[in-house]
Amino acid sequence: MVPLMVQLGLDARWNVIKGNDEFFAVTKKFHNALHGREEAITRDEYALFLEVNRKNLDEMKLHGDIMFIHDPQPVALVEKRGELGGKWAWRCHIDVSNPQAEVWEFLRKFVIKYDGAAFSAPSFAQTIPIRQFMVSPSIDPLSDKNRELPQETIDSVLAKYNIPADKPIITQVSRFDRLKDPVGVIQAFDLVKKSIDCQLVMAGGTATDDPESEVVLKEVRERAEANPDIHILLIPPGSDIEINALQRASTVILQKSIKEGFGLTVSEALWKAKPVVASAVGGITLQVKNKFTGLLSHGIEGTAYDLKQLLSNPEYAKWLGENGREHVRQNFLITRHIKEYLLMFLALYHPEETIYL
Amino acid sequence: MSLIDAIVQRWQVVVVPAAVFVAFLLFALWLRRLAYRAMERWAKQTQWEGHSILVAATRLPSLLASLIIAVLLALEVSILADGGKALAARVSWSLFALMVALAALGLARGLLRLYLERFNASPRVVSLSSNIATVTAIVVSLLTILELWGVPTGPVALLIGIGALALLFAFRDAMSSLFAWFHLSASGKIKVGDYIKVESGEEGYVTEFGWRATELEGLDGSTVIIPNHKLTQSRISNYGRPLKQAAEPFRFYSRLHLKELTNLKARTLRDLVATLKTAPDAVVYYHTHNFLEEHHYLTPEPANDFAVWVTDALGNEALGERLASLDTFEFSTLALLRDRVVDIIEEYLARNPDSREALPGREFHFIRSVSIVLPLQYVAHDLREFVEVLRNVSVGSLFFHVFESRLRIGKGFNDFSVWIEESLGEPELAAAIAQLDPYNYSLEGLRSSLIQLIEKHVK
């Protein structure tokens, strides 16, 4: 995003804080705690967090009219606000609506020193006495994950994973994690399969920091073993073109999460004009307006019902897919994202509801 | 015998040719006079402006031609030897051919000047046409004279023909532009000052209508030059002369918006209505216009956020439908609109003690819209300029001038209607636009409807 801002004429710079393994172990704990998981964080660990932030403040040559700090890790850089001046904004990329109280209280002291904060969805925010803006994340249409692909590439990926192209393909792209309900996906597929001959592709990696991930993958493989129409693909990180090709080869794309952050994979699917069936959780409801840009479901039976509807009615599926692509084009591309950041910077200088430039 | 004696003895040798000369000359002059009179009567009847040119061009050549023929006839009846007569005949016919060429040239130049000036042709075009006529007259008369003197003219004519063809080929575009110009000028379909639009997209006011090309000045001040032959091959819309100028030009603005979170949320209908009662206008505006704005490509437009949430998150389709059918266009202020939404929900709750709760994560989050209004470079001084800007301006600008100015800024009317009535003095068109319910259209559909209304009015 910084190169695009520079092209727009802004003197935008991106600085990265430095930290040792211990610091990142602490921030990982913070991350989990903000997601609501119970984490025991010692006084020394809080001290280490502050110490690394302070050290970075001393080493970094920060200057600018607007300081835009991303994520909790460098949140304490705001301590230098008095000295550096300018406007300060904090970007929160995660859902902090239900955090572990102690960690949030610790971070909140810093957050409220900013002029404003940006959250990805209204449900991700916290009650804080500073202005909060909603800035949804976005996809880059020119990246490997989203750009147009030649048919040969798509065919070669299908061939690589032995997926025949003669049957409709239902795909869910997500890591093997209980929160993505992979077993539920197979159950819904089994219900669809009773009346429609189709195949299921589940593509993703395992979460390295989650030991349960391997267990889930094993369980999913066992469930899928008996059915040759279920393809479980463990895709290594960085295989964006392969994910892109699998999405483009799909007839319907599924995102049956039980809990979700923003769930940008939905926008990635919609950008490819694919009809989507997704759970009504997290940021998905912002991307899928039920029956306009996709179908929202709640349970296994509902998901199966929606999948059958789309597989049996290709015209309806096509209409939803095209609406979905247009919805992403208007609201979830990187260009909209930059526009909102710039507007937010303006709003930091103007408290009024209508700003005349 | 002296010469006089010889003449006296053979008086008829002189008298007969002289009599023939005088008789023919008188006859020719009488005929010429008759012809001029007849022509004058005809010119009066038809009010043909070329009459005086015709008279001026032929008066002297016709007199000289009469004299030449009279001399030729006189020599024919004289006692001159055959060789002498043949020579005299060639000389006379050559002079006659020159007279005809002189008359034709005078006539052609006079008529060209008359008609070209009438079509506002530039002096360059007039002089070029005169030169072409002169060269043609000289070439034709020279060929005739050479023919009279027995010089073979075939090869010369062929050479000239080939040369002319080569020239035509080399300047075929220029020639077809010239013919196109004659055609368009004669039909009077395009004049300097007209506003035209060519099928291929070029448009603007005609500033010069030359024999080769037509020059247009676009609304942005750019100049477009289109060869005339392209014009005749394209479909052209001619909107005629400039329209009424506005007392004050219309300046287009656009509007971008930012979503500001309020931390207020509702899980039940009672929560929703309680919060809505005290929510600021910018929140009401957001939730009654956000869906329209984010999904403006969909037709028919889905409803407000309240209706969507009540239907999707609470599963209350009956109330959802009631809220969706709310006619936003009926309300002139956001406070009135908010009161109506509150009334609908409270009426429903009075009859149905609905205690449905949205699932966690599907609560209604109240969001405030922050508008950032920025001036655009577009300015319209008349309806034509206005419609051309309207064709290209962003949907954000439409949104600002039609929806936002009406309700949020509290003008009660859209900006377009206000300008058309107050600055252009076109109350009927202003009213037609004000009556258009923008909530019934997608933003692109609204744009087309506005353009159609204005274009119909302009024609």
Contacts of A344 in chain B (CB under 8 A): 258
State how far the Cα of A12 lies from the Cα of A70, in Å rounded to an integer.
14
β-partners of residue A233 are A203
Q: Can you tell me the mean pLDDT for B258-269?
A: 93
- Is there a domain that residue A355 lies in? no
Q: Which two tokens stand for residue A316?
A: 């309806």
Average pLDDT over chain B, rounded to an integer: 85
What is the DSSP pairing of strand B223-227 with strand A87-92?
unpaired
Token pair recorded at residue A211: 């030991």
Say yes or no for a CB contact (<8 Å) between A289 and B371. no
Higher pLDDT, A135 or B245: A135
Q: Check B298 against A132: CB less than 8 A apart.
A: no
Give the lowest-confidence range in A178-192, A262-276, B78-92: B78-92
pLDDT score of B301 more than 80 = no
Which chain B residues are Cβ-neighbours of A285 within 8 angstroms?
Answer: 361-362
- Region B93-105 average pLDDT: 86
Q: Are residues A163 and A309 in the same domain?
A: yes
CB distance B236 to B196 below 8 Å: yes
Same domain, A173 and A213: yes
Which of A257, A353, A356 is most worth mutating to test chain B (most B CB atoms within 10 A of its CB)? A353
Statement to judge: residues A61 and A78 lie in one domain: yes
CA neighbours closer than 13 Å in the CB half-sphere of residue A129: 4
| Sign of CA pseudo-dihedral A301, A303, A309, A312 | negative
Instruction: Classify residue A146: in a domain, yes or no.
Output: no
Closest residue in A to B260 (Cα) is A133
3-state secondary structure labels for all residues of chain B: CCHHHHHHHCCHHHHHHHHHHHHHHHHHHHHHHHHHHHHHHHHHHHCCCCHHHHHHHHHHHHHHHHHHHHHHHHHHCCCCCHHHHHHHHHHHHHHHHHHHHHHHHHHHHHHHHHHHHHCCCCHHHHHHHHHHHHHHHHHHHHHHHHHHCCCCCHHHHHHHHHHHHHHHHHCHHHHHHHHHHHHHHHHCCCCCCCEEEECCCCEEEEEEECCCEEEEECCCCCEEEEEHHHHHHCCEEECCCCCCCCCCCEEEEEEEEEEEEEEEEECCHHHHHHHHHHCCHHHHHHHHHHHHHHCCCCCCCCCCHHHHHHHHCCCCHHHHHHHHCCCHHHCCCHHHHHHHHHHHHHHHHHHCCCCCCCCCCCCEEEEEEEEEEEEEEEEECCHHHHHHHHHHCCHHHHHHHHHHHHHHCCCCCCHHHHHHHHCCCCHHHHHHHHHCCHHHCCHHHHHHHHHHHHHHHHC
The minimum CA-CA distance between B314 and chain A, rounded to whole Å, is 13
Decide which of A300 and B229 is more confident. A300
Say whether A353 and B368 touch across the interface (CB within 8 A).
Answer: yes
**CA-nearest residue of chain B to A126?**
B263
Question: Reading across the β-sheet that carries B203-209, which strands appear in turn?
Answer: B223-227, B213-217, B203-209, B195-198, B236-238
Q: Mean pLDDT over residues A95-106, rounded?
A: 90
Is the CB of B371 inside 8 Å of chain A's CB atoms?
Answer: yes
Binary contact (A127, B282; C-beta < 8 A) = no
Q: Which amino acid is at A125?
A: A
Inter-chain residue contact B297 with A326, CB threshold 8 Å: yes
Q: Does the pLDDT value for residue B205 go beyond 60? A: yes
Interface of B with A in 231-290 (CB under 8 A): 256-261, 263, 265, 280, 282
What is the pLDDT, as a whole number, of residue B155?
A: 76
Cα separation values, A62 from A55, A86, B405, Å: 13, 11, 42
Q: pLDDT value at position B124? A: 67
Answer whether residue B300 shows pLDDT above 60: no
Q: Which two tokens stand for residue A292?
A: 């306009």
Instruction: Report the C-alpha gap between B450 and B416 in whole angstroms.
Output: 10
Residues A210 and A288 occupy one common structural domain: yes
Residue B331 scores a pLDDT above 90: no
Using alpha carbons only, how large is chain A's radius of gyration in Å?
A: 22
Cβ contacts (< 8 Å) between B296 and chain A: which residues?
A: 330
| Residue carrying structure tokens 């704005």 | B293
* Range B352-371 average pLDDT: 89
Cβ atoms within 10 Å, residue B254: 20
CB A183 within 8 A of CB A215: no
Nearest to A330 among B297, B361, B368 (CB): B297
Distance, in Å, from the CA atom of A164 to the CA atom of B272, rounded to the nearest integer, reads 50
Residues of B in contact with A281 (CB under 8 A): 361
Dist. CA A69–CA A117, nearest whole Å? 9
Helix A182-193 and helix A300-312, axial crossing angle in degrees, nearest 10: 50
- Whether B263 sits inside 8 A of A330 (CB atoms) is no
Q: What pLDDT does residue A265 have?
A: 93
Q: Are residues A38 and A9 in the same domain?
A: yes
- Is residue A162 over pLDDT 90? yes
Nearest to B261 among A133, A289, A292 (CB): A133
Q: Do the chains contact at A343 and B373, CB–CB below 8 Å? A: no
User: Does residue A343 lie within any of the structural domains?
Assistant: yes
Q: Do B374 and A357 touch (CB under 8 A)?
A: yes
Give A228: exposed, middle or buried? Use CB within 10 Å, 0-12, 13-18, 19+: exposed
Average pLDDT over residues A333-340: 95
Cβ-defined contact of B260 to A289 (cutoff 8 Å): no
Do A156 and A257 fall into the same domain? yes
Name the percent of chain A lying above pLDDT 90. 68
Asked if A134's CB is within 8 angstroms of B367's CB, the reply is yes
Q: What average pLDDT does this structure show over B273-293?
A: 90
Ramachandran category for residue A263: left, alpha or beta (phi over 0 → left; psi -120 to 50 → alpha): left
Q: Cα distance from B390 to chain A (closest Cα, Å)? A: 20
Residue from B346, B288, B339 nearest B319 by CA: B346
DSSP 3-state assignment of A353? coil
A232 DSSP β-pair partners: A202
- The pLDDT tens digits for A202-212 are 998 776 666 77
Q: Is the pLDDT of residue B252 over 90?
A: yes
Q: Is residue A76 part of a domain?
A: yes
Q: Where are the alpha helices (DSSP H) in chain A?
A: 2-7, 21-34, 43-59, 81-84, 101-111, 151-160, 182-193, 212-225, 240-249, 265-271, 284-287, 300-312, 314-331, 334-349
Residues A266 and A287 in one domain: yes
| H or E segment to which residue A91 belongs | strand A87-92
Whether the predicted pLDDT of B153 surpasses 80? no
Find the closest chain B residue to A290 by CA distance: B312
Q: Yes or no: say if B226 and B214 are a contact pair by the CB < 8 Å rule.
A: yes
Specify if A126 maps to a domain: yes
Q: Are residues A180 and A199 in the same domain?
A: yes
Query: Starting from the edge strand earliest in sequence, which strands make up the sheet with B364-380, in order?
Result: A66-70, A87-92, A116-119, A131-134, B250-266, B364-380, A354-356
Residues of chain B positioned with their CB less than 8 A from the CB of A125: 261, 263
Spatial distance between the Cα atoms of B243 and B246, rounded to a whole number of angstroms: 9
Residue B329 — very low, low, confident or very high, per pLDDT cuts 50/70/90? confident
Mean pLDDT of B359-386: 91
A123/A163 same-domain check: no
Are the Cβ atoms of B359 and A326 closer than 8 angstroms? no
ipTM: 0.87
CB contact under 8 A, A323 and B298: yes
pLDDT digits (tens, 9 = 90+) for B154-182: 777 788 778 878 887 777 777 777 777 77
Q: What is the pLDDT of residue B119?
A: 67
Residue A286's CB is within 10 A of a number of other CB atoms, namely 21
> From the CA of A251, how many Å to the nearest CA of chain B?
23
Supply A250's token pair. Answer: 């799909």
CB contact under 8 A, B261 and A281: no
Instruction: Please judge whether B308 and A289 are an interchain contact, meaning their C-beta atoms are less than 8 angstroms apart.
Output: yes
pLDDT score for B41: 87
In angstroms, the separation between the Cα of residue A329 and the nearest Cα of chain B is 10
- Domain assignment present for A203: yes
Q: What is the pTM of this model?
A: 0.71
Q: How far is CA A243 from the centre of its chain?
A: 15
Q: Are A288 and A297 in contact (CB under 8 A)?
A: no
Q: Which chain B positions have a beta carbon within 8 Å of A326's beta carbon?
A: 297
Nearby residues of B458 by Cβ (< 8 Å), 6 or more positions away: B239, B243, B383, B384, B387
* Closest Cβ–Cβ partner in B258, B265, B291 for A343: B258
**Smallest Cα–Cα separation from B413: which of B425, B405, B423, B421?**
B405
**What pLDDT is recorded for position A209?**
62
> What is the pLDDT at residue B79?
79
CA B45 – CA A50 distance, rounded (Å): 107
Asked whether residue A93 carries a pLDDT value surpassing 70, the answer given is yes
Domain co-membership, A173 together with A84: no
- Is A353's CB within 8 Å of B370's CB? yes
Contact B256 A339 (CB under 8 A): yes
Q: Would you say residue B44 has pLDDT above 90?
A: no
Cα–Cα distance for residue pair B158/B161, rounded to 1 Å: 5
Counting beta carbons within 10 angstroms of the beta carbon of residue B1, is it exposed (0 to 12), middle (13 to 18) or buried (19 or more)? exposed
User: Considering the domain boundaries, does residue A257 fall inside one?
Assistant: yes
Which residues of chain B lie closer than 8 angstroms to A270, CB-CB? Answer: none
Residue of A nearest to B300 (CA): A292
Regarding whether A85 and A205 lie in a shared domain, the answer is no
Place of tokens 């939803």: A320
Give the burial class of A62: count Cβ atoms within 10 A of its Cβ; 0-12 exposed, 13-18 middle, 19 or more buried: middle
CA distance A279 to A297: 5
* Chain A CB within 8 Å of residue B374 CB: yes
Same domain assignment for residues A287 and A256: yes
Q: In Å, how far is B374's CA from the nearest CA of chain A?
A: 5
DSSP 3-state of A234: strand
Cross-chain CB nearest to A285 (options B294, B362, B369):
B362
How many domains does the structure of chain A reveal?
2
Percent of chain B topping pLDDT 70: 95
By Cβ distance, the residue of A122, A282, A285 closest to B261 is A122
CA distance B177 to B182: 9
Q: Which residues of chain B neighbour A287 with C-beta distances below 8 Å?
A: none
The minimal CB distance from A282 to the residues B259, B294, B361 is found for: B361
Structure tokens belonging to residue A357 = 């430039």
A85 located within any domain: yes
Query: Is residue B168 within 8 angstroms of chain A, CB to CB?
Result: no
**CB-based contact, B169 to chain A, within 8 Å:** no
A90 sits in which H/E element: strand A87-92
| pLDDT band at residue B118 under the 50/70/90 scheme | confident
Q: Contact at 8 Å (CB) between A89 and A345?
A: yes
**A32: helix, strand or coil:** helix
Cβ separation of A123 and B261 shorter than 8 Å? Answer: no
Residue A263 belongs to a domain with what CATH number?
Answer: 3.40.50.2000
**Residues 6 or more apart whose Cβ sits within 8 Å of residue A58:** none
What is the mean predicted confidence (pLDDT) over A34-41? Answer: 86
Q: With CB atoms and an 8 Å threshold, state whether A123 touches B297.
A: no
Residue A119 pLDDT: 94
Q: Percent of chain B scored above 90 by pLDDT?
A: 28
**Domain of residue A78, residue span:** 2-138+334-349
SS3 A77: helix
Closest to B259 (Cβ–Cβ): which among A133, A285, A323? A133
Taking CB atoms and an 8 Å limit, are B371 and A354 in contact across chains? Answer: yes
CA–CA separation, A256 and A192 (whole Å) = 15
Partners of A133 on chain B (C-beta within 8 Å) are 258-261
Give the separation between CA B338 and CA B184, rounded to whole angstroms.
60
